[in-house]
């Protein structure tokens, strides 16, 4: 019974790995057909730092966009109403 469970787990893992390898091969094949060399990153530390930097840039761009929207959509009447509510 234990051998059956272990065999089932190992078989499932091999099946999942096979599907992942196939999809990666398809992705790289599509890139090569467009004359683009696929980027393979064997260093996980560089991949993580690159992803973190991209996330920081995205957050900074969103903050700048929100600040610009706030400046462009400024309305004196709503600002005065807010001041009156705070003072009362």
Closest CA to 20 of 10, 8, 9, 28: 28
63 or 74, which is more confident? 63
Asked whether 46 and 53 are in contact (CB, 8 A), the reply is no
User: What's the predicted TM-score (pTM) here?
Assistant: 0.45
**What is the model's pLDDT at position 57?**
93
**56 pLDDT tier (thresholds 50, 70, 90):** very high
- Contact yes or no for 38/31 (Cβ under 8 A): yes
As a whole number of angstroms, the distance between CA 72 and CA 44 comes to: 42
- Checking if the pLDDT of 42 tops 80, the result is no
Output the six-digit token pair for 81: 């109403």
Radius of gyration of the chain from Cα atoms? 27
Domain residue limits, the chain: 1-40, 42-88
- Flag whether pLDDT at 22 surpasses 90: yes
What's the pLDDT score for residue 77?
A: 78
Q: To which residue do tokens 């690159």 refer?
A: 50
């Amino acid at each position: 019974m234990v051998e059956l469970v272990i065999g089932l787990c190992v078989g499932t893992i091999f099946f999942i790995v096979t599907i992942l390898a196939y999809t990666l091969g398809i992705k790289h094949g599509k890139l090569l057909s467009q004359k683009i060399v696929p980027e393979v990153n064997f260093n996980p530390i560089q991949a993580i730092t690159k992803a973190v930097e991209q996330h920081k840039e995205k957050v900074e761009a969103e903050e700048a966009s929100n600040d610009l929207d706030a400046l462009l959509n400024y309305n004196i009447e709503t600002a005065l109403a807010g001041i009156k509510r705070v003072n009362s």
